């Protein structure tokens, strides 16, 4: 009886595993086709300085629809990382995002910084830094506008030493480095010190906790203090409410990003938002003019 049950269970797990393997293969093949056919897009989500609400930059987020249905990056990015497709995917995202920023600059707009998410297989790919340089040149965007977002897991990667070198090379070009989803991984302060990091992005799970006044809100406060102590800036991701914005600003968090300010926008909508802001809130309103 026990044996039969055991075998039944085995078959169940076997089938589930097989279905999962099949799903992953189908998805990676579809993604490969989408890359070949240049059907990968990006969205741009604004980042705002909490002290005064000024626009300071955009984060580029990859977007892919399969048969008209958007596939969440949380589903296909891990598969792209496992299959190596992430190297091509990442370069497409970078190219598209830089082109968007270059077009804004050509219109006389000030897009601020451009943050892009980069995975470890991209950082260990031999031509990565040269490719970044070339794409910036082609888009007429200074690498100094670029912020490379890496997650904590990158610091624990078996190629961490090589990755630290690559990040230093990117720093030398003028780019900045941000640690994404900070607080969810297992990186220690010792790891943090070994990497040239300028910004800590507090994971949105801790930001959501602010409205509940929970223990996790204390984590957000601690990360903000840690960033300040290390001479870095804290960036809050997933800011959804005015209460969160006010709390973060009071704690000294430098930058916010989230639905409260703006969702990830199409490239066109991002440029329009910037253009509207520019005409409605001219710099003259901020810089006090001499009285006549
Ligand atoms: P992430 O880099 O931490 O990006 C923030 C995620 O939070 C995005 O999800 C964004 O749409 C979402 N978000 C923004 N504001 C809010 C908010 O107020 N509330 C909530 N609940 N969520 C908000 P998305 O676009 O689904 O991306 C998920 C993850 O996929 C990213 O997390 C990043 O790790 C990865 N990813 C996205 N684009 C790329 C890419 O081009 N390359 C790589 N390697 N990874 C990417
Ligand atoms: Mg990110
Ligand atoms: Mg994040
Ligand atoms: Mg995240």
Distance CA(109)–CA(267), nearest Å, equals 13
Pocket test for ligand 1, best of 117, 154, 202, 244 (most atoms within 8 A of CB): 117
pLDDT for 163 equals: 95
For 127, which DSSP code?
Answer: T
For residues 31-56, average pLDDT = 97
Q: Which of 10-24, 79-93, 226-240 has the lowest mean pLDDT?
A: 10-24
Q: Is the CB of 81 under 6 A from ligand 1?
A: no
Q: Is the CB of 121 under 6 A from ligand 1?
A: no
4 pLDDT band, cuts 50/70/90, is: low
Residues 6+ apart with CB under 8 A from 104: 110, 111, 270, 271, 274
pLDDT for 278 equals: 67
pLDDT over 70 at 79, yes or no: yes
Pocket test for ligand 1, best of 41, 94, 237, 248 (most atoms within 8 A of CB): 237
For residues 214-220, average pLDDT = 84
Please tell me which residue, 159 or 281, carries the higher pLDDT value.
159
pLDDT for 292 equals: 45
Q: Is the CB of 61 under 6 A from ligand 1?
A: yes
pLDDT for 283 equals: 46
Please, which residues have CB less than 5 A from ligand 3, an ion?
Answer: 180-181, 237
Residue nearest to atom 34 of ligand 1 (CA): 117
Q: How big is the CA angle at 287 (ends 257 and 236), to the nearest 5 degrees? A: 15
pLDDT in tens, 159-210: 999 999 999 999 999 999 999 999 888 777 888 888 999 999 999 999 999 9
pLDDT for 13 equals: 79
Q: Is the CB of 240 under 6 A from ligand 1?
A: yes
Distance CA(39)–CA(217), nearest Å, equals 39
For residues 55-61, average pLDDT = 98
pLDDT for 114 equals: 98
pLDDT for 193 equals: 83
Q: Is the CB of 78 under 6 A from ligand 1?
A: no
CA distances (Å), origin 34, targets 60, 65, 89, 144, 262: 18, 9, 10, 31, 27
Residue nearest to atom 25 of ligand 1 (CA): 61
* Strand extents, DSSP E, 109-259: 113-117, 146-151, 176-182, 199-202, 233-237, 255-257
Q: Compute, in angstroms, the gap from residue 269 CA to the centroid of ligand 3.
A: 22
Q: Which of 7-21, 138-152, 201-215, 216-230 has the lowest mean pLDDT?
A: 7-21
pLDDT for 144 equals: 98
pLDDT for 152 equals: 86
- In this structure, are residues 209 and 231 in contact, taking their beta carbons and an 8 Å threshold? no
Q: Which atom of ligand 1 is nearest to the CA of 264?
A: 11
The pTM for the full model equals: 0.92
pLDDT in tens, 91-140: 999 999 999 999 999 999 999 999 999 999 999 999 999 999 999 999 99
Q: Compute, in angstroms, the gap from residue 149 CA to the centroid of ligand 4.
A: 11
- In this structure, are residues 106 and 147 in contact, taking their beta carbons and an 8 Å threshold? no
Q: Compute, in angstroms, the gap from residue 203 CA to the centroid of ligand 3.
A: 6
- H-helix or E-strand spanning residue 131: helix 128-139
Distance CA(270)–CA(190), nearest Å, equals 38
pLDDT over 70 at 269, yes or no: yes
Residue nearest to atom 42 of ligand 1 (CA): 117
Task: For the chain, give the percent of residues with pLDDT over 90.
Answer: 78
Q: Compute, in angstroms, the gap from residue 152 CA to the centroid of ligand 1.
A: 15
CA distances (Å), origin 230, targets 192, 201, 226, 233, 284: 10, 14, 6, 9, 34
Q: Which atom of ligand 1 is nearest to the CA of 77?
A: 45
């Amino acid at each position: 009886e026990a044996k039969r049950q055991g075998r039944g269970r085995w078959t169940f797990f076997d089938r589930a595993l097989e279905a999962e393997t099949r799903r992953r293969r189908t998805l990676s093949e579809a993604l490969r086709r989408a890359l070949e056919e240049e059907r990968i897009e990006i969205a741009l989500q604004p980042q705002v300085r909490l002290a005064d609400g000024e626009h300071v930059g955009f984060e580029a987020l990859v977007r892919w629809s399969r048969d008209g249905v958007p596939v969440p990056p949380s589903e296909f990015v891990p598969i792209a990382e496992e299959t190596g497709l992430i190297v091509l995917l990442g370069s497409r995202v970078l190219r598209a995002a830089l082109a968007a920023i270059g077009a804004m600059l050509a219109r006389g707009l000030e897009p601020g910084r451009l943050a892009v998410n980069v995975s470890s297989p991209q950082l260990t790919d031999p031509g990565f830094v040269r490719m970044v340089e070339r794409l910036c040149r082609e888009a007429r965007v200074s690498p100094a506008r670029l912020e490379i977002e890496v997650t904590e897991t990158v610091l624990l990667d078996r190629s961490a030493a090589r990755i630290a070198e690559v990040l230093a090379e990117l720093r030398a070009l003028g780019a900045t480095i941000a640690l994404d989803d900070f607080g969810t991984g297992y990186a220690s302060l010792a790891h943090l010190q070994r990497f040239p990091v300028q910004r800590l992005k507090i994971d949105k799970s801790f930001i959501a906790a602010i409205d509940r006044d929970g223990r996790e809100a204390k984590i957000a406060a601690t990360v903000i203090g840690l960033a300040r102590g290390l001479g870095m800036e804290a960036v809050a991701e997933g800011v959804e409410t005015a209460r969160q914005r006010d709390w973060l600003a009071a704690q000294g968090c430098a930058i916010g990003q989230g639905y409260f300010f703006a969702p990830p926008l199409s490239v066109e909508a991002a440029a329009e938002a910037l253009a509207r802001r520019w005409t409605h809130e001219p710099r003259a309103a901020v810089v006090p003019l001499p009285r006549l």
